[in-house]
Amino acid sequence: MTKIISGFSKMTKQEKIDWLVDNFFEKPILAKETLQQYWNSNRVLQELHDDFIENTVSNFYMPYGVAPNFVINDKAYVIPMVVEESSVVAAASLVAKFWSTRGGFKTTILGTTKVGQVHFMYKGDSEGLQFYFDKIKPQLLRATEAITKNMRKRGGGIIDIELRNKTHELAHYYQLHATFETKDSMGANFINSCLEAIANEFRRSDIEIVMSILSNYVPECLVRTEVQCPVDDLYKENAQYYAEKFVQAVNIANAEPHRAVTHNKGIMNGIDAVVLATGNDFRAVEAGVHAFASRSGSYKSLSNAEIKNGVFRFWMDIPLALGTVGGLTKLHPLAKLSLEMLQNPSAEELMQITASAGLAQNFAALRALTTTGIQKGHMKLHLNNIIKQLEASEKEKAFLIKYFENKTVTHNAVIEKYKEMKNFNL
């Protein structure tokens, strides 16, 4: 069977593509052309991207947009966003402008602690284990000294190591729960290296180390972002009514997981876009954020809203383990550019910026949902995509955009109008 192959990773890029298109595509030449279309003509740049992962055969472009007019802690930012959903950057820009004249976003770092664990099995008595741990703890820290040297110079390192008895959750299961400060780096490699050194030192014939790995659940690497203004400044008409409806929408997301997931997805539209643009790990952020949203035992809204003494306040606490050094942040030319656009923030500042982009997105979604509904704005933007699929000329495009200015956009309606326009030469 030619569809199973050994030694694939050792083949040249060209050989890989040949094998791939010959075995999995009905039109191999077309498939090859499509892959090659996205190669970068700058050889050095292409090689850089080839080396990010194994078996690279092409590049997958995502739009790189910018949302201007974000005011965060009285500082103006243009936020880079990498996202494919048509309404996201538009919504962020609109909301950023809106809040820029109402005091902007105010943020606070609530913590920067990260976590890693050595998971192990031990069948002896737990008191003996605790005695062994207390005795060996200074040695565990010493075993990481070479790894933590540079980090300690920057004010980071291992904060503490605890022995945790987890045998009530799983027979014979214990862990070394270590906490870290990783300053401007996300710290995954640093934490994992420390944990492996700790595990090696801790190992004993009656201790079976199962694994040593950081945790992407970082409830103590937390940032708060918030906006507030008098209710009357929030809407042009019926401000109290719509502000209360907005708060009710947040209450619903707190009460009902189905809604909470979509509510939080809207927040992640903003978060992921900035995380991607700055070369950070969006899977780690996603996993950690959703676990945090479930910390009470049921999945809830990440954001909160209230009206008190005529003032509307909207805020969110969100765990974000981000880095501005290490990883792809300086390696990917666009990630580097994004950080420069953000005035080379520290990791803490990047947490604040990213969280604000998320809150802005949530504000845009809730404001639309509780007033005009989401589809009006969405479909207006989607109109461009539909027109593109039709391969309409510039003149036809202008006609369709004008025609749908005050009409509801649906996929069918656009296609029908397009056909009609063609038939009647409108």
Q: HEC profile for 87-155?
A: CHHHHHHHHHHHHHCCCCEEEEECCCCEEEEEEEEECCCHHHHHHHHHHHHHHHHHHCHHHHHHHHHCC
Amino acid at 289: V
407 Cβ contact partners less than 8 Å away, ≥ 6 residues apart: 413
Write down the catalytic residue from 75, 97, 332, 378: 378
Helices 411-424 and 375-389 meet at what angle, rounded to 10?
A: 50
Q: How far is the CB of 358 from ligand MEV (least distance, A)?
A: 11
- CB of 88 or CB of 198, closer to ligand MEV: 88
List 265, 380, 397, 417, catalytic entry: 265
Which sign does the torsion angle of CA 323, 329, 330, 335 carry?
A: negative
Q: Is 184 a catalytic residue?
A: no
Q: Which of 184, 196, 272, 281 is catalytic?
A: 281
Q: Which is nearer to ligand MEV, 67 or 198 (CB)?
A: 67
CB 127 → ligand MEV: shortest distance, Å?
51
Beta bridge pairs of residue 214 = 116
Give how far Cα 181 sits from Cα of 95, 185, 213, 355, Å: 33, 9, 16, 20
Instruction: Write the CA distances from 346 to 96, 109, 315, 404, 426, integer angstroms.
Output: 21, 12, 22, 45, 56
Tell me how far CA of residue 236 lies from CA of 126, 250, 367, in angstroms: 65, 21, 13
Instruction: Report the interface residues with ligand MEV, using CB under 6 A.
Output: 85, 262-263, 265-266, 269, 365, 369, 374
Q: How far is the CB of 185 from ligand MEV (least distance, A)?
A: 31
- The nearest distance, CB 157 to ligand MEV, in angstroms, is 40
- Contact yes or no for 70/359 (Cβ under 8 A): no
State how far the Cα of 372 lies from the Cα of 322, in Å rounded to an integer: 35
Supply the minimum distance, in Å, between the C-beta of residue 241 and ligand MEV: 20
Q: Select 252 or 328, whichever has its Cβ closest to ligand MEV.
A: 252
Active site residue 177: no
Catalytic residue status for 85: yes
Nearest-approach distance from CB 275 to ligand MEV, in angstroms: 16
199 or 247, CB closer to ligand MEV? 247
Instruction: Tell me whether residue 378 is one of the annotated catalytic residues.
Output: yes
- Shortest Cβ contact with ligand MEV: which residue? 266
Specify which residues 65 forms β-bridges with.
81
**Nearer to ligand MEV (CB atom), residue 266 or residue 358:** 266
**Separation of alpha carbons 220 and 350, rounded Å:** 16
| Residue closer to ligand MEV, measured from CB, 215 or 370 | 370
Pick the catalytic residue from 18, 50, 85, 306.
Answer: 85
Residues with a catalytic annotation lie at 85, 265, 281, 378
